[in-house]
Structure 1
Amino acid sequence: MTARITRRPTPAQSRLAAVGAIAVAGALLLTGCGDQTEKGGSDGAAKSDAAAPLADKLPQAIRDKGVIKVGSDIAYAPVEFKDDSGKTVGIDPDLAEALGKQLGVKFEFQNGTFDTLIGGLASKRYDIAMSAMTDTKDRQEGIDADTGKKVGAGVDFVDYFTAGVSLYTNKGDDQGIKTWDDLCGKTMAVQRNTFSHDLAREQAKKCVKDGKKTLKVEDFGTNPEAETRMRSKGANVVSADFPIAAYSVKKSGGGAYFEIVGDQVEAGPYGIAVAKNNTQLRDALQAAVQAVIDSGEYQKIIEKWGVEEGAITEAKINGGS
């Protein structure tokens, strides 16, 4: 079974400030989504360069190819999404471009549904998964969060950001939802196999244990699908990581569709996922993330996207709990 959830709200004032910051960055770009493979970061990933300071840390096979294949669900603005020209943009592509400069390789983003990304590492379709993926013990150990059973080898994470989870509803229709305990008897739409999905299933069990009507959880392949379900009145609420929720609230329908309710909960690290047996690549990525942090490039990237409150100072391996 999953660990008992202890929710840690963040201050509403900080939440509102972050929404405003994301709004400024979001006004520059339009969201979009697609299924085609996208190569490179926001301006194309760095060309292979033998002078890159950390190139010698990479496995020789990747150095020879000059490419790191990235599995990503490219429909999760502002972390990764397609702009109106079809180009992959966002926090992760920008960071990948900076990592490419350190490692002397290109990062090629390949679109896939979120719930297939870890499997794509096991099948070697991808070298890494980078997709606003929360670093959790269950994912590290290959445990299904709902059943508590082992379903895979697990992955290692290189942590690079911190984000909590938010609830949002159709605008003007919050239905009195302020906390997760207000969800009993409601229907939630959520992206499948995300951390929000894990929390929703735990809350559904808690509602029953407390003698209340259960929370009905409907899961979808992408977050935009979950939002469409709520827009059509098929669900009362959507849950997503705070940067995604805040960006969607600001951009969807020009700000007319959704509103955030309550505070963030369960702040945890985003991690770059790497197969357990690929420790050399994992360690190279950790060194590159730390170098980007130390150089100041990391701060410029997160300021560009208005998510400063999620900044980290140390690139840990498997820092999630």
Structure 2
Amino acid sequence: MTARTTRRTTAPGTRKPVTFRLAAVGAIAVAGTLLLTGCGDQTEKKSSGGGNTTDASASAGTGNKLNAMLPQNIRDKGVVRVGSDIAYPPVEFKDDSGKTVGIDPDIAAALGKELGVTFEFENGTFDTLITGLRSKRYDIAMSAMTDTRDRQNGIDSETGKKVGEGVDFVDYFTAGVSIYTKKGDDQGIKSWSDLCGKKIAVQRGTVSEDLAKAENKKCGDKGSIKIEAFDTDLEAQTRLRAGGADAGSADFPVAAYTVKKSGGGKDFQLVGEQVEAAPYGIAIAKDNTQLRDAIKAALAEIITNGEYKKVVDKWGVAEGAVTEAKVNGGS
């Protein structure tokens, strides 16, 4: 799901650290070999448009039945507009041809096949995606976004103040957060507490940034954590690669993919265990319950018919798979 497993979310809760088998990393690298020559070198700035379309067919899968569940305006257009920060491999990113690819686009394509519509991805800055839902620029936001109670209720996680009506989530994946450093130079960093007195590069508005801020409050005389937050995770990677930080952090699938791909596997290494496992959710406006329920039904269908499994197996992230479609399962 950063919470762009890459989790892009709010401040940490009380969940305990969890460890995913690193064998998944190799599968991620194999799946991505033909897609990127080095994810760390892709530093494109996001624009507000230029989306890509997933393929769908109204006659495919359970098409007619689930299509009838959609709001009339979406049925008429045949399109679901997806707000996404398309710079977060392997969750969503551009391949060498400029096509939007990754875990999220593949799941969206499978959903679209069942619903009989196309999912069109539109590139946007991660921390503006929920605002885009409010303004009806997007129908949904799908961008490794962590389902949290604060987001459900429209609460700013730092101030605790109400900032909006909140959103509903259809949860479709589970991921934790990892730290990585330059290869062969871990600076003695094995856990979040080891970051005191050091500098970390992260994507703005992600759980990685929130974890660093929370840990910083506990550093005391060990020295503060210097946090550099960037618009994209790729920019944070570039900062670390250039020696401008001691560590980086992202959702586990993203961090693992980065470690395997950047510099042919020679730039970075994972350190410590991933923590804060939580669900990624497809965000939908609170007043759009019809669309929410249609997407939930389509997700349940692709889990049952095996199309969901094909996607997570393709990207080597089966350990983050969900077994049922849930709404607002985050805490």
Question: What TM-score does the superposition give when structure 1 sets the normalisation length?
Answer: 0.93
Whole-Å separation in 2 of the counterparts to 1:304 and 1:52: 28
CA distance in 2, matches of 1:93, 1:316: 19
Partner residue, 1:150: 162
Q: Secondary structure at the match of 1:274?
A: strand
Deviation at residue 4 of structure 1 after TM alignment: 6.2
- Corresponding residue to 1:239 among 242, 246, 249: 249
TM-score w.r.t. structure 2 length? Answer: 0.90
Report what 1:25 is aligned to.
31
Spell out structure 1 runs of 4+ moving beyond 6 A.
Answer: none
Instruction: Give the residue type in structure 2 aligned to 1:177.
Output: I
CA-CA distance at 1:49 after TM superposition:
4.5
What is aligned with 2:5?
none
Q: Give distance in 2, aligned partners of 1:296 and 1:38.
A: 27
User: Does 1 or 2 have the higher relative contact order (CA < 8 Å, sep 6+)?
Assistant: 2
RMSD of aligned Cα (Å): 1.7
Counterparts of 1:198-277 in structure 2, within 5 Å, are 198-208=210-220, 211-277=221-287
Does structure 1 conserve the Cα–Cα contact (< 8 Å) formed by 2:83 and 2:121?
Answer: yes
Aligned-partner Cα distance in 2 for 1:3–1:233:
27
> 1:105 corresponds to which letter in structure 2?
V
SS at match of 2:250: strand
Match of 1:189 in 2: 201
* 1:166-210 Cα distance to aligned partner (Å, 9 max, x none): 0011111111111111111111111111122222211112224xx
Query: What is aligned with 2:101?
Result: 89
SS of the aligned residue for 1:181 comes to helix
The answer on 1:295 being equivalent to 2:310 is no
Distance apart, 1:28 and its partner CA: 2.9
2:52 aligned residue? 39
Asked if 1:63 is matched to 2:70, the reply is no
Aligned twin of 1:319: 329
Q: Aligned equivalents of 1:48 and 1:67: distance in 2? A: 11
- The CA distance in 1 between the partners of 2:257 and 2:241, in whole Å, is 16
Distance 1:4 1:114, change over 3 A: closer
Q: Percent same amino acid among aligned pairs?
A: 68
Counterpart selection for 1:54 from 46, 66, 69: 66
Please tell me whether the aligned partners of residues 15 and 263 of structure 1 are also in contact (alpha carbons under 8 angstroms). Answer: no
Instruction: Determine if the alignment matches structure 1 residue 100 to structure 2 residue 112.
Output: yes
Q: Shift in Å at residue 5 of structure 1?
A: 3.5
Aligned to 1:112: 124
Give the conservation status (yes or no) of the 8 Å contact 1:26–1:305.
yes
Residue of structure 1 in register with 2:16 after alignment: 8
3-state SS in 2 of match to 1:15 = coil
3-state SS, counterpart of residue 326 of structure 2? coil
**Gap change, CA 1:4 and 1:266, over 3 Å in 2:** closer
Could you list the per-position Cα deviations for residues 101-120 of structure 1 after superposition, in whole angstroms to 9, with x for gaps in the alignment? 11111100000111111110
The number of residues matched between the two structures is 313
Cα distance in 2, alignment partners of residues 231 and 20 from structure 1: 21
What does 1:124-135 align with in structure 2 at a 5 Å threshold? 124-135=136-147
Q: Which amino acid in 1 is paired with 2:52?
A: K
Superposed displacement of residue 3, structure 1: 6.7
Shift of 1:8: 2.4
Which amino acid is the alignment partner of residue 9 of structure 1? P
Aligned equivalents of 2:146, 2:91: Cα separation in 1 = 13
Gaps of 5+ in 2: 1-9
Deviations 1:259-292 (A, max 9, x none): 1110110000000000111111111111111111
